[in-house]
C-alpha cells in the first residue's frame, strides 16, 4: 500500500510538472523560467501556405528541446517590454513592410542588447525600405526560378563545423523553391550554397548561398532559405538543421541575458507622448511664424495680416495689416490670383535687445516687386513708422508665378531669404519652362532661376546692419563686383524654395523646393517632376530649369518649333536665353539631398505618393533646450525635421557624422496635418506649426496655429470631442460626446464641459462625459471639454456650434450616371439640389441657380490642384456676390448710389477702391450702413438702416467690395445638365474628373453664412490589378498580381456599379514563364464568398514566348447590380495542383454598354507606330547582359526593317511601341532602350508582368 501511495504521489507530481511545462507557468519560483521564442509570420505581400506547417514544426522543436513557442502576426508585440521575454525571434516566411518605425526601433534595440534572430525562407522578402534589416537577415530576395518555382536541386555544405550542418551530407539533394538573392552582406558566414547546375533559374552563379549565420550589431542571426513547401517541415534533416540553427540564434549552449545598456539605437518615444494643442483656428491663409523668447508667437497671413498669439491670454490678436498685392493682370487686363502677398517673417537674433522682426511681402502699388522690410515690435504693437526697406526683389505681375518666400538667420547673424522663380509653369507641360519666344518671358525660368544677375529663383544671404542697410558675407556664390552677377546670391537654380532653415551648429542650409508637374518622363522633353529637399554646405547652383532631383537633365527644347535638342550638361550648364541678363556659363549643377516624384520614390519610399510640396524645417539640437520645460526627446537630437504640405506628414531625417543622409522616419505617423506650411521650435522645446488648411486662396476652418508638445512623464489625457449637431435653427438640442477620449497611463478621468456664447454673457457647465445641451438663443457657441487625470494632467478640446442658422443641404443626383468612374466621350448627367431651412430651395425658386457654383474639371495626373481651386473660388465668388446684388436692388441704396457714377453718395466702385485690402473693412462698413455716418465722402450724411439684418448688410458690403477686382470670374456650370467627359489631347486617362458644387447661404439671426460644398471624384474605369484595396493569397509585383494559389482574391472598395455591364481583364497564363495552370475569375459582391454576379471564360495556359500581340481580353458579363459595393475578384481552378499559380492579371476595366461597344471596334494603327521610331535600327543591335532572368543575355538583331530578339531558347519579333526607343514583344513585354550622353544606345530594360529587368549592352 505504501509503495502504491508513493508511486501515486510521484505520478501526481509528474502530472503537475508536465502541467507547468505545458502552460509555461515557470514564474512562481519553483523552477527557472524556460527559454521562449517568438514566431512572427505577418505577411503584407505573398503569403506562403506552408506557414502553418512551419509553426507546427517549431512547436514540436520546442517540445523536444525545452523552450516555449509563442506565435503571432500582431506587429504590436514588437515593443521593448514584450521582446525582453524572448531569447530569439523567428521571422517565418514574412513578406512586405511588416513593422512600423516604432516596432523597428524596438527590434533594433532588442538585437543590440543580445537578442537572437532566425529567418526562414521569405524572411528575406521583407522590409525592403529598412537597410538595417537587410544586414540582419543577410540578403534580400531577388527572384525565384522560372518556369517551375519548385524543383529538385543540390545543396553544397561548405562549413561542417556548425551545429546546423555537421550532420548533413556534403551534397544534399532536396526539393523546394530556391531563392536567388541581392544585397548579400559580405559579413556572412555561409554554411551552404546551391549548385545552380542542378536546377533551372538560379542567378547568383557559383557563390549562391542558401544558409548562413553571423554575429550582428550585438546579437545573433541565422537564416535558411528552405521552407516554401509544407513537405520541408516534415523532412528530418531539414528539421534538424532548423533546430540547430535556432539553438545558435538563442545563444547556443551558454546564452546570456539581454543587456539593454548595450543598445546603441536610441529609444523611439511613443507617439502618444506627443500632443497637438490647437492655439487658434479658422486662420486666413497663414504663411510663416516666429516664436519670441517669451513664448509669444507672431505669424503672418498672405493677405497682409500680422497676428500675435499670447500664451498669457490664450488669444490671437491682429496687430497690423500690411497692404499687399495678391493679384496679377495680364496683357488683356484679365485679373487673376497670384501667389504673392505677405509671405514670410522672422525675428532678429538679438530680438530681446532690438525688438526687430523682418517681413517679406509684395507691396501694393504699380511697381512689380517683393520687399524685405524690417519693423520694430514694441510690446504687442508693430510700429509701422519704424519700417525700413532692406532689399527689393524685382518681379513680374503679368501672370501668376512661384513666389517662394522664407526667412531665417544663421549663427553668425546672416539673413537668408528664399525667392521663387516668378515663372508660370502651366504652358510647358510640366517640364522645363524655357520658352524664349518673343513676349514669353514670364514662361522662361532662364530669365530668373538660371540668371546670375537676377534675385528670383534663389536663396539670398546678406548681413543686415543696424541702419537698415546690409553687407555681403564672405563665401556667397559670386564675389562682389563680378560682372553680370548679384553678390546677394548664395544658391541659385531654384524653382519654388518655399521653406528654409539653417543648422545652427554646422551652418548647413536646408530648403524644400516644390518641383514641376510632369507625372511621367516625356519623350525628348525630360524627367518626371520631382520635389526636392536641398542641403548646401557652401554656395552653389542647384540646376533649375535645366535639371531636377539628382541632376536629371532636361532636353533643350525649342518652343517655337516643338523640336528637342541635346540634353543639358550638369557639369557645364549654359544659359543662352534671350531673356538672360547674367553670365552664360553657369556653375556646375548640384544634385538634391532628397528627391521624390508623384509616384512612390525608389530612393526614398517613405516619402509616399500623391501630390507634393516639400518643406524643410529645423535641425533639432537637444542641448539648446537644457532649461526648457518639455523639449523633444534625445532621440531626435541632430535630426533634420522635414514636412510635406500636400501629404500632411512630419519626417525626421537622420544624418551621419559628416551630415550625409542616413535614414528617415515619420514623426507622429498616425497624424495627418492639414497642409503644414511652417514649423519652428519654441524656447520651451515645443514645436509650433501653422496649418494652411485644405482649400487654396481662402480662409479654412482647418487653418490653425498649433503647438506640438512632448510629455516624458505623466501623459495628459487625449481628448476627443464631437457633437450630434453643429448648428441649426433654434431651438434645438445637441448631444456632446467625449467618445474616444483616453488616458495612456490608464488613470481615472473626470470630465467637465463648458458651453460659452461668443459674447461671454452665457456660460453653462456640465460635469459629465456626454451631456445633452439645449440652444434656444441665436449665436455662436464654443463647447469645451476639459478632462483631468488622477495625477492632475489636464487637456481640453473645443467644438463650435452655430445656433440660429441651419446648414444648407446640397446633393448631387446623377440620373443613372456612375459616381465612381468617368468614361471618355460619354455624357455625365447631373442635377444639383439645394435645400436650406431659412433660404428655401432651388426647386422652389427661392434659391436662384446663379447663387450655386458648379464646376467640372479634369485633374490630369500630376496637375496642380491649386490652379483648379483658383477657378473654384472665382466661381464661388461670382455666385456669392449675386446675393448681395439682389439685396442691394431691393433696398433704398440706389436712391443715393450707383455702381460706377457718383450720385448723392459715392459710386460703389469708389467705395470698393478706397477700402480695397483693408483689414476689417467689411465689418466696419456693415456697421456704418446700419448706424449711419458722415464725413468720409463730403457733407451729406448717410442714413441709418437699423431695419436691415447684420447678415444681409454683410452680403451687400461683400458685393460692393467685390467691385474693386476687375476680374473675369470662372463661369459656373448650370445646376442641371449633361457634361461630356473628354480627355485632353495625348492624355492617357489616368487623372481624375472633379464634379463640384457649392452654395453659401444668407446667414440668419445674426449668425454668419454657412457654405455647403460637395465634390464627386471620378477616376478612370481602368484599374491596375495591383492597386486593389484588399489582397489575399496573391503575389503582387508593382501594379500586377499573380494568382499564385486557387481561391485567392483581390478586392476594390466602395465602387459604384451603376451602368456597368461587364469587366474586361488583361490577363494571361504564361506556361513557359510561370508554369501557370489557368483558371477563371469570379466577380462577387461585398465579400469573397458574396453574391456571384459574373465570371470569365477559362483563361487557358499559353505556350511559348514569341507571340507578338497582347493577350486577348477576358470579359466577365455582369448580372444586374447597381449602387455602391465592395467588388471582389476570386481566382478559381479547382483542378490546379496545390501551390501552382493560375494566371497573371495586369489590369481590369469596368465598362458600360457604350464603352464595351467602343472597345470592341478594331483600332487603326497610327502612322507613327507603323513607321516605327526614327532612329536607325542598327543602333539597338547587340547583346545585353541581363540580371534577374533565367538567361544571361538578350540579343537584339535588325532583320528586314524589324527588330528580332533572342533570349535563351526563345526568339521573337519586336514591334514599335508608343515612345522613342520603345518596342513591344510577346506576352505583353516591353523593351525600353536607354541612351548615353552621346545618344548611343547603352542599355535595355525589359518590363514583363509588372517587373523590370535591366541589362547593359
Contacts with 151 (C-beta within 8 Å, 6 or more apart), sequence order: 145, 175, 177, 178, 199, 200, 201
Contact 1081, 1114 (CB under 8 A): yes
DSSP 958: H
Backbone angles phi, psi at 483, to 5 degrees: -55, 145
Q: Where are the beta strands (DSSP E) in 294-439?
A: 297-301, 305-310, 315-321, 327-329, 335-337, 342-347, 356-361, 369-378, 381-394, 404-409, 415-419
Contact 8, 24 (CB under 8 A): no
Q: Which is it for strands 687-691 and 704-710: parallel, antiparallel or unpaired? A: antiparallel
Contact 179, 141 (CB under 8 A): yes
Q: How would you label 705-724 residue by residue, b for 16+ Cβ within 10 Å and e otherwise?
A: bbbbbbeeeebbbbbebeee
Concatenated DSSP letters for 818-855?
Answer: -SSEE-TTSEEEEEEEEEETTTEETTTTSS-GGGEEEE
Of 1105, 1116, 1067, 1134, the C-alpha closest to 1209 is 1105
Q: How far is CA 594 from CA 530, 533, 695, 705, in A?
A: 10, 5, 27, 28
Of 314, 317, 281, the C-alpha closest to 799 is 281
Find where cell 478621468 sits.
Answer: 749
Does the annotation flag 897 for ligand binding? yes
Does the annotation flag 893 for ligand binding? yes
Task: Indicate the angle between helix axes 921-931 and 950-962, nearest 10 degrees.
Answer: 120
What is the 3-state secondary structure of 981-1034? Answer: CCCCCCCCCCCEEEEEEEEECCCECCECCCEEEEEEEEEECEEEHHHCCEEECC
Beta bridge partner(s), residue 216: 219
Contacts with 777 (C-beta within 8 Å, 6 or more apart), sequence order: 730, 757, 762, 803, 804
The CB density around residue 756, as the number of other CB atoms within 10 Å, is 17
The CB density around residue 635, as the number of other CB atoms within 10 Å, is 16
DSSP 634: G
Contacts with 1206 (C-beta within 8 Å, 6 or more apart), sequence order: 1194, 1195, 1197
DSSP 410: -
Does the annotation flag 1186 for ligand binding? no
Of 574, 495, 565, 577, the C-alpha closest to 526 is 565
- The H or E element that residue 563 is part of is strand 563-567
Find where cell 498672405 sits.
Answer: 302
| Helices of type H across 24-143 | 51-65, 80-83, 101-112, 131-137
The whole-angstrom separation of Cα 286 and Cα 524 is 40
Computed on alpha carbons and rounded to an integer, the radius of gyration of the chain in Å comes to: 34
Beta bridge partner(s), residue 486: none
Contacts with 487 (C-beta within 8 Å, 6 or more apart), sequence order: 472, 476, 478, 479, 480, 481
SS3 label, residue 581: coil
The whole-angstrom separation of Cα 165 and Cα 159 is 7
The whole-angstrom separation of Cα 854 and Cα 972 is 5
Q: How would you label 976-1010 residue by residue, b for 16+ Cβ within 10 Å and e otherwise?
A: eeebebebeeeeebebbbbbbbbbbbbbbbebbbb
Contact 316, 308 (CB under 8 A): yes
Binding residues: 893, 897, 942
Question: Binding site for heme c: what residues are annotated?
Answer: 893, 897, 942
Amino acid at each position: 500500500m505504501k509503495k502504491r501511495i508513493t508511486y501515486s504521489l510521484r505520478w501526481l507530481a509528474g502530472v503537475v510538472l508536465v502541467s507547468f511545462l505545458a502552460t509555461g507557468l515557470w514564474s512562481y519560483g519553483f523552477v527557472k523560467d524556460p527559454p521562449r521564442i517568438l514566431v512572427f509570420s505577418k505577411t503584407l505581400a505573398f503569403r506562403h501556405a506552408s506557414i502553418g506547417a512551419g509553426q507546427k514544426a517549431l512547436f514540436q522543436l520546442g517540445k523536444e528541446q525545452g523552450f516555449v513557442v509563442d506565435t503571432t502576426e500582431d506587429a504590436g508585440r514588437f515593443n521593448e517590454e514584450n521582446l525582453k521575454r524572448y531569447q530569439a525571434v523567428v521571422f517565418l516566411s514574412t513578406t512586405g513592410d511588416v513593422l512600423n518605425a516604432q516596432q523597428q526601433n524596438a527590434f533594433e534595440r532588442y538585437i543590440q542588447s543580445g537578442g537572437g534572430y532566425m529567418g526562414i525562407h521569405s524572411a528575406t522578402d521583407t522590409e525592403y525600405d529598412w537597410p538595417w534589416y537587410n544586414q540582419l537577415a543577410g540578403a534580400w530576395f531577388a527572384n525565384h526560378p522560372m518556369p517551375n518555382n519548385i524543383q529538385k536541386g543540390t545543396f553544397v555544405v561548405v562549413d561542417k563545423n556548425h551545429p546546423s550542418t555537421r550532420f548533413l551530407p556534403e551534397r544534399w539533394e532536396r526539393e523546394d523553391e530556391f531563392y536567388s538573392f541581392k544585397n548579400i552582406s559580405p559579413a556572412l558566414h555561409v554554411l551552404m550554397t546551391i549548385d545552380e547546375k542542378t536546377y533551372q533559374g538560379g542567378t547568383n552563379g557559383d557563390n549562391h548561398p542558401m544558409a548562413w549565420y553571423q554575429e550582428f550589431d550585438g546579437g545573433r542571426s541565422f537564416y535558411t532559405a528552405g521552407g516554401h513547401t509544407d513537405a520541408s517541415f516534415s523532412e528530418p534533416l531539414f528539421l534538424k538543421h532548423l533546430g540547430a540553427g535556432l539553438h545558435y540564434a538563442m545563444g547556443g549552449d551558454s546564452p546570456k541575458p539581454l543587456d539593454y545598456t548595450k543598445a546603441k539605437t536610441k529609444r523611439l518615444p511613443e507617439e502618444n507622448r506627443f500632443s497637438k494643442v490647437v492655439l487658434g483656428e479658422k486662420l486666413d491663409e497663414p504663411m510663416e511664424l516666429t516664436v519670441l523668447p517669451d513664448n509669444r508667437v507672431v505669424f503672418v497671413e498672405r493677405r497682409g495680416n500680422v497676428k500675435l498669439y499670447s500664451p498669457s491670454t490664450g488669444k490671437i490678436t491682429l496687430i497690423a495689416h500690411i497692404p499687399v498685392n495678391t493679384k496679377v493682370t495680364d496683357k488683356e487686363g484679365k485679373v487673376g490670383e497670384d501667389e504673392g502677398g505677405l509671405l514670410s517673417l522672422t525675428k532678429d537674433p538679438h530680438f530681446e535687445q532690438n525688438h526687430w522682426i523682418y517681413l517679406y511681402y509684395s507691396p501694393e502699388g504699380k511697381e512689380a516687386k517683393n520687399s524685405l522690410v524690417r519693423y520694430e515690435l514694441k510690446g504687442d504693437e508693430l510700429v509701422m513708422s519704424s519700417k525700413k526697406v532692406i532689399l527689393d526683389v524685382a518681379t513680374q505681375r503679368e501672370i501668376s508665378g512661384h513666389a517662394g518666400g522664407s526667412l531665417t538667420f544663421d549663427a553668425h547673424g546672416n539673413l537668408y531669404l528664399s525667392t521663387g522663380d516668378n515663372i508660370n509653369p502651366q504652358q510647358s507641360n510640366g517640364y522645363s519652362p524655357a520658352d524664349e519666344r518673343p513676349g514669353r518671358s514670364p514662361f522662361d525660368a532662364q530669365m530668373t532661376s538660371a540668371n546670375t544677375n537676377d534675385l528670383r529663383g534663389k536663396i539670398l544671404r546678406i548681413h543686415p546692419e543696424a541702419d537698415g542697410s546690409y553687407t555681403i558675407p564672405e563665401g556667397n556664390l559670386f564675389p562682389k563686383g563680378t560682372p553680370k552677377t548679384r553678390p546677394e546670391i548664395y544658391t541659385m537654380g531654384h524653382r519654388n524654395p518655399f521653406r528654409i532653415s539653417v543648422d545652427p551648429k554646422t551652418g548647413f542650409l536646408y530648403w524644400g523646393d516644390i518641383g514641376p508637374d510632369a507625372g511621367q518622363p516625356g519623350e525628348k522633353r525630360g524627367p518626371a517632376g520631382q520635389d526636392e529637399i536641398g542641403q548646401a554646405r557652401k554656395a552653389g547652383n542647384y540646376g533649375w530649369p535645366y535639371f531636377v532631383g539628382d541632376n536629371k537633365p532636361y532636353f533643350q527644347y525649342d518652343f517655337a518649333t516643338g523640336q528637342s535638342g541635346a540634353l543639358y550638361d550638369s557639369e557645364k550648364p549654359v544659359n543662352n536665353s534671350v531673356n538672360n541678363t547674367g553670365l552664360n556659363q553657369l556653375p556646375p549643377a548640384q544634385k538634391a539631398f532628397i528627391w521624390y516624384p508623384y509616384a512612390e520614390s525608389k530612393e526614398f519610399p517613405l516619402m509616399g505618393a500623391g501630390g507634393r510640396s516639400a518643406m524643410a524645417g529645423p535641425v533639432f539640437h537637444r542641448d539648446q533646450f537644457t532649461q526648457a520645460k518639455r523639449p523633444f526627446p534625445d532621440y531626435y537630437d541632430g535630426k533634420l525635421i522635414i514636412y510635406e504640405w500636400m501629404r500632411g506628414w512630419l519626417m525626421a531625417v537622420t544624418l551621419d557624422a559628416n551630415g550625409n543622409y542616413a535614414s528617415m522616419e515619420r514623426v507622429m505617423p498616425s497624424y495627418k496635418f492639414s497642409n503644414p506650411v511652417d514649423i519652428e521650435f519654441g524656447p520651451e522645446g515645443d514645436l509650433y506649426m501653422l496649418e494652411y488648411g485644405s482649400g487654396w486662396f481662402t480662409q479654412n476652418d482647418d487653418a490653425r496655429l498649433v503647438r506640438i508638445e512632448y510629455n516624458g512623464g505623466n501623459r495628459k489625457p487625449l481628448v476627443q470631442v464631437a457633437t450630434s449637431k453643429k448648428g441649426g435653427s433654434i431651438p434645438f438640442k445637441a448631444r456632446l460626446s467625449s467618445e474616444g477620449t483616453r488616458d495612456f497611463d490608464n488613470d481615472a478621468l473626470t470630465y467637465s464641459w463648458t458651453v460659452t456664447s461668443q459674447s461671454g454673457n452665457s456660460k453653462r457647465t456640465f460635469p459629465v462625459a456626454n451631456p445633452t445641451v439645449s440652444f434656444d438663443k441665436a449665436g455662436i457657441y464654443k463647447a469645451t471639454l476639459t478632462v483631468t487625470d488622477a495625477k492632475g494632467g489636464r487637456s481640453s478640446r473645443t467644438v463650435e456650434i452655430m445656433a440660429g442658422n441651419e446648414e444648407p443641404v446640397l446633393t448631387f443626383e446623377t440620373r443613372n450616371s456612375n459616381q465612381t468612374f468617368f468614361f471618355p466621350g460619354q455624357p455625365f448627367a447631373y442635377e444639383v439640389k439645394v435645400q436650406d431651412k431659412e433660404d428655401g430651395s432651388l426647386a422652389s425658386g427661392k434659391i436662384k441657380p446663379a447663387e450655386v457654383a458648379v464646376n467640372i474639371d479634369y485633374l490630369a495626373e500630376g496637375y496642380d490642384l491649386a490652379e483648379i481651386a483658383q477657378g473654384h473660388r472665382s466661381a464661388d465668388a461670382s455666385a456669392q456676390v449675386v446675393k448681395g446684388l439682389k439685396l442691394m436692388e431691393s433696398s433704398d441704396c440706389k436712391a443715393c448710389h450707383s455702381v460706377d457714377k457718383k450720385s448723392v453718395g459715392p459710386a460703389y466702385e469708389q467705395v470698393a477702391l478706397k477700402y480695397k485690402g483693408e483689414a476689417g473693412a467689411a465689418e466696419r462698413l456693415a456697421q456704418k450702413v446700419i448706424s449711419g455716418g458722415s464725413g468720409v465722402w463730403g457733407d451729406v450724411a448717410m442714413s441709418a438702416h437699423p431695419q436691415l439684418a447684420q447678415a444681409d448688410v454683410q452680403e451687400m458690403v461683400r458685393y460692393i467690395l467685390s467691385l474693386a477686382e476687375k476680374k473675369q470670374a470662372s463661369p459656373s456650370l448650370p445646376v442641371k445638365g449633361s457634361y461630356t467627359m473628354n480627355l485632353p489631347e495625348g492624355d492617357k486617362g489616368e487623372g481624375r474628373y472633379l464634379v463640384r458644387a457649392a452654395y453659401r447661404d444668407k446667414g440668419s439671426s445674426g449668425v454668419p453664412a454657412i457654405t455647403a460644398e460637395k465634390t464627386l471624384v471620378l477616376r478612370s474605369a481602368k484599374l491596375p490589378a495591383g492597386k486593389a484595396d484588399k489582397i489575399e493569397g496573391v503575389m503582387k509585383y508593382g501594379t500586377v498580381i499573380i494568382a499564385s494559389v486557387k481561391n485567392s482574391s483581390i478586392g476594390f472598395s466602395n465602387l459604384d456599379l451603376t451602368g456597368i455591364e461587364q469587366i474586361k481583364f488583361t490577363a494571361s497564363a504564361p506556361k513557359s514563364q510561370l508554369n501557370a495552370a489557368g483558371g477563371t475569375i469570379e466577380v462577387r459582391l461585398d465579400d469573397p464568398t458574396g453574391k456571384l454576379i459574373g465570371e470569365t471564360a477559362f483563361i487557358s495556359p499559353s505556350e511559348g514566348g514569341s507571340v507578338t500581340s497582347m493577350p486577348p481580353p477576358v470579359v466577365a458579363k455582369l448580372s444586374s447590380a447597381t449602387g455602391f459595393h465592395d467588388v471582389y475578384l476570386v481566382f478559381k481552378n479547382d483542378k490546379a495542383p496545390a501551390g501552382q499559380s493560375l494566371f497573371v492579371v495586369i489590369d481590369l476595366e469596368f465598362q458600360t454598354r457604350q464603352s464595351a461597344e467602343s472597345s470592341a471596334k478594331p483600332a487603326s494603327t497610327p502612322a507613327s507606330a507603323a513607321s516605327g521610331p526614327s532612329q536607325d535600327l542598327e543602333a539597338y543591335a547587340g547583346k545585353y547582359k541581363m540580371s534577374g532572368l533565367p538567361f544571361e543575355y538578350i540579343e537584339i538583331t535588325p532583320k528586314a526593317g524589324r527588330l528580332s530578339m533572342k533570349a535563351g531558347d526563345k526568339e521573337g519579333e519586336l514591334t514599335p511601341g508608343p515612345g522613342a526607343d520603345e518596342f513591344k514583344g510577346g506576352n505583353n513585354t516591353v523593351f525600353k532602350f536607354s541612351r548615353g550622353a552621346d545618344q548611343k544606345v547603352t542599355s535595355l530594360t525589359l518590363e514583363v508582368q509588372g517587373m523590370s529587368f535591366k541589362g547593359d549592352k
